[in-house]
Amino acid sequence: MYINSLKERIQNKKIIVGVIGLGYVGLPLAMEFAKTGIKTFGFDIAVHKVNNLNQGKSHIMDVSDNELSRNVANGLFHATANFELLSTVDAISICVPTPLTKSQEPDMSYILAAVEQIRHFLKKGALITLESTTYPGTTEELIERTLSKDGFIVGEDYFLCYSPERVDPGNLTFNTENTPKVIGGTTRQCSEIGYLLYSQVIKDMHVVTSTKSAEMTKLLENTFRSVNIAFINEMALLCDALGMDIWEIIDAAATKPFGFMKFTPGPGIGGHCIPLDPMYLSWKAKESNFYSRFIDLAQETNNKMPEKVIQKVTEVLNIHEKAMNRSNILIMGMAYKSNIDDVRESPALDVYDLLVKNGANTSYYDPYVTTFIDGSGNEVYHDEAALNNLEKYDLVLLLTHHQMFDLDKILEKATLILDTRDAFKTISAEHLYRIGTGVETKKVVLV
């Protein structure tokens, strides 16, 4: 009854799309729909965010103020905190956070809150697509079962899909439009409708047989990355112990044109996905009495990297007869990866807290991240003048390699440098150290 009408309106771009959650995933998606001429409502509970968006002020780097203002002015995008407008929407995409609880279990509260709004205002014949990363079975358990209690029959009264977001903040090559997208529906008709909608804005679509398969696809992608990063982090620690250069070895291995994929070590893992997604998968596995030791070990390895960085800092300072306590240390880069302003789960946050805990006078420099909240709840501001006063620091600790960093100046002016990202590549200098290369501890300073 509803499917043919919805198909026709999608093809003619006569539908209204609603995106719930206007963060790193939802806002770029909303812009893609609006850009193709589809009227789009963006729903968010943060009123200040809604007001800024309607004034053409974007809060994320991947959406420019110009792009946002154009879509607002054309009447193709409107942000709102009024969820009653869901009753006018033909297709809903849920792009809300899926963090962990304090007990390190999946926090479904944001999805449940979105579903609660949808159940009150769902338009019959509408498509619902969950994009938030989650464990296999979420779409069926939290959305289909909830709506079935209200008498909605999936595949008849509404259509339901899962399509995992693949947003990579700051990626200048791949964006929402040109990143292939996976989608799976609860029924064949659901998959057809979901494919038809998203193919209006995304070039390459891949359909799987179920929402569970689509959910597991995202967890496989990111757990794969977590496990391989953990392995290369452990190799870096081993090379440290053996006095070998992990960076040289990685580059050599990468010359093999088959059977090897290059991963690089670092101070830990960050972002919303890589640190959390394996824990969603591990939690679901335990529900089925399956213990994913490999996944759990990878998490353990990655989580201990900030402490390993602190050990390396201590070693480098000790070589130069300095103690961690009362040393002046400058962190370069607080974001979880280069050239972005995102500090979610950034390992730099943990490194900062550990340095402070160990008595170091710790400052940081990051033009992308001018302030953050430390582990004690204090607001910390970046030192704008740090690059002009490098000599006052006992050690410069490079945790995130932003392209704007003046490496030549750092190399010239800094007393000691510890590079955790191989930013300085093959440069050799007596005061330059890198993780994964080993240092000879000549003297240990205990106080």
Residues paired with 266 in a beta bridge = none
Note the residue count of the chain: 447
DSSP 194-256: HHHHHTTT-S-EEEES-HHHHHHHHHHHHHHHHHHHHHHHHHHHHHHHHT--HHHHHHHHTT-
Distances (CA, A) of 318 to 221, 260, 368, 394, 398: 41, 37, 32, 11, 18
Is residue 95 annotated as a catalytic residue, yes or no? no
Closest CA to 230 of 284, 169, 299, 149: 299
Question: Is there a contact between 278 and 239 (Cβ–Cβ < 8 Å)?
Answer: no
Closest among 336, 355, 346, 308 to 402, alpha carbons compared: 336
How many CA atoms lie less than 13 Å away from 415 in the CB half-sphere?
Answer: 16
CA–CA dist 328, 160 (Å, integer) = 55
Indicate which residues carry an active-site annotation.
273
